[in-house]
Amino acid sequence: MIISRSGREYAHFSYTADTDPTGLVATVGLGGVWYAATFTVLAPSPPLQPYWTGVVTLLVAGPDATANPTGTAVLVLGANRAAIRFPDVPEIVVREAGVIVVVD
């Protein structure tokens, strides 16, 4: 994903989990900070597939964006590596989720 230094938009990260994440908290890590995020379960596990898929969503902004809502991840110029996790599960698994690039 690419945003401008004054831009703001929602970043979407896909996930696959072997535990039903319904009711759990999702977080996105950017620049060493973990942000609370929302998530949607897209495909609950049918009996023959022991996993759940979905999307984690977080509002991100460039360093020059103004009037950011509370909880917005303000990023630095350049590449910002993202990771997602569900800290409520007994074994916290951190998954690399992609890169958000902030450009001039």
Structure tokens at 81: 């590596």
pTM of the model: 0.84
**How far apart are the C-alpha atoms of 42 and 29, rounded to whole Å?**
22
Q: Where are the domains of the chain?
A: 2-103
CB 7 within 8 A of CB 104: no
Averaged pLDDT of the chain: 86
Instruction: Specify whether domain 2-103 bears CATH 2.60.40.10.
Output: yes
Structure tokens at 84: 């997602």
Percent of the chain with pLDDT over 90: 50
CB 99 within 8 A of CB 13: no
Residue where the block lists tokens 């942000």: 35
pLDDT in tens, 35-76: 999 888 876 655 666 677 888 999 999 999 999 999 999 999
